[in-house]
Amino acid sequence: MKIEEIDINFAKKEITDKPDTIWYDTRKAPFELYGFYDPLNQPVFRRMPDDVAAAVSPGVRTLAAYTAGGRVRFSTDSPYIALRAVMPKEHFMSHMAPSGSTGFDLYVDEGNEHTFVAAFRPDMNELGGIVTYTNIEGTAFGGKLNCYTINFPLYDSVTSLEIGIMKGCRLEKGAGYRPVKPFVYYGQSVTQGGCASRPGNAYQGFISRRFNVDFLNLGFSGCARGEQEMIDYICSLDMGIFICDYDANEPNAEELRKKHYNVYECFRKAHPDIPCILISKASTILYPKEAEERRLVIEDTYQRAIASGDKNIYFIDGKTLFSGMDSSDCTVDSSHPNDLGFWRMGQGIGDVIEKIMEGYRDE
């Protein structure tokens, strides 16, 4: 017997349109999209320009069309919210839940509180997209106008996304983020969100909800190599804080040493006063000697920055992010964080950001 025949709670809801559903294109008002490059004019949702991504590497070009960090915000009093996505690739990985790699999740936004409501899960037997519903009326938020955020998949591409609500219900603009410039994250697979069980559990999600700030995820699985084309693009962006999680994709510490300070130096020349956080790899279970060598490279960049007079530079020793009770239980494969690991990363990085934000003035 299949598990869904034994326990109906594991069964995916029937993918059938409700007859009273009205569908709306998220590229049109009142929806507001975040975490994307020019989403109203691109054929697919992407995180950076295609020509720039192609100039960096073939891998970055592919991954730039994966929607990690993408979000849409809106409000409605509909008793249910439906989602219809066209996703031509749909990737399933052995060590990452499809609900995170190719699913969406839904949060309700109430002031400074952002509460998870439901996941829009893919059907592994049906490729080409998702059509699914979640019942809001049956939750603690039913019966009123709510602001919502839907997070896009971490490891999949999305051509179009439509939201469906009950005919006759209100559809309005969603909650706004705090009026500060977006945080920009650069790094590897962990930065992209592997292997969170759902999109909102990548560490940037925890930080965004904690401070109610917008962000751009420039994490590229296996492809964060500090290329000059990528750094030039990052330097061209307008941001509030730069979080540099660049470490593990270089083949060794020596290759990292050749590029890491250049990443910082180029950024600082372009943005003399924007806070910059340097992070070393969080999980050091595998190859601890090499991980320490890499950590020293990043700490050296930090010390050189301090010596040059930089007062807006911060260093997070990655091995401290999983420290404490159950530290060895923070990954799925001794490398990529599970939800506990991402929560701890969000807390540790968020604590540093909180110190920075104490002197931050809303624009």
Residues 132-173 have pLDDT tens digits of 888 888 787 878 999 999 999 999 999 999 999 999 999 999
Domain with CATH 3.40.50.1110 in the chain: 183-357
Instruction: Report angle CA 283, 220, 337 to the nearest 5 degrees.
Output: 25
Q: Which pLDDT belongs to residue 125?
A: 53
Q: Is the pLDDT of residue 40 over 70?
A: yes
Alpha-carbon span 227 to 208, nearest angstrom: 27
Phi, psi of 9, rounded to the nearest 5 degrees: -70, -15
Q: Which pLDDT belongs to residue 285?
A: 80
Of the ranges 33-37, 95-99, 297-301, which one carries the lowest mean pLDDT score? 95-99
Alpha-carbon span 167 to 105, nearest angstrom: 23
Alpha-carbon span 57 to 141, nearest angstrom: 45
Alpha-carbon span 294 to 331, nearest angstrom: 19
Distance of CA 10 to the CA centre of its chain: 26
Share of the chain above pLDDT 90, in %: 79
What residues contact residue 130 under an 8 Å CB cut-off, 6+ apart?
83, 84, 85, 87, 103, 104, 120, 121, 122, 123
Q: What is the pLDDT of residues 41-78, one digit of tens each?
A: 999 999 999 999 999 999 999 999 999 999 999 999 99
Of the ranges 192-196, 271-275, 284-288, 297-301, which one carries the lowest mean pLDDT score? 284-288
Q: Would you place residue 326 in the very low, low, confident or very high pLDDT band (cuts 50, 70, 90)? A: confident
Q: Would you place residue 15 in the very low, low, confident or very high pLDDT band (cuts 50, 70, 90)? A: very low
Domain with CATH 2.60.120.260 in the chain: 3-172
Distance of CA 111 to the CA centre of its chain: 21
Q: Is the pLDDT of residue 294 over 90?
A: yes
Share of the chain above pLDDT 70, in %: 92
DSSP 224-287: ----HHHHHHHHHS--SEEEEE--TTSSSHHHHHHHHHHHHHHHHHH-TTS-EEEE--S--SSS
Q: In CATH terms, is domain 183-357 a member of 3.40.50.1110? A: yes
Q: Which residue has the higher pLDDT, 215 or 15?
A: 215
H helix count then E strand count, the chain? 10, 15
What class does CATH assign to 3-172?
mainly beta
Q: What is the pLDDT of residues 81-138, one digit of tens each?
A: 999 999 987 667 888 999 999 999 999 999 889 999 999 987 655 556 788 888 888 7
Q: What is the pLDDT of residues 79-97, one digit of tens each?
A: 999 999 999 876 678 889 9
* DSSP-derived 3-state class of residue 214: coil
3-state percent breakdown (helix, strand, coil) of the chain, nearest 5 = 30, 25, 45
Q: What is the pLDDT of residues 210-244, one digit of tens each?
A: 999 999 999 999 999 999 999 999 999 999 999 99
pTM of the model: 0.94
Q: Is the pLDDT of residue 266 over 60?
A: yes
Alpha-carbon span 178 to 362, nearest angstrom: 7
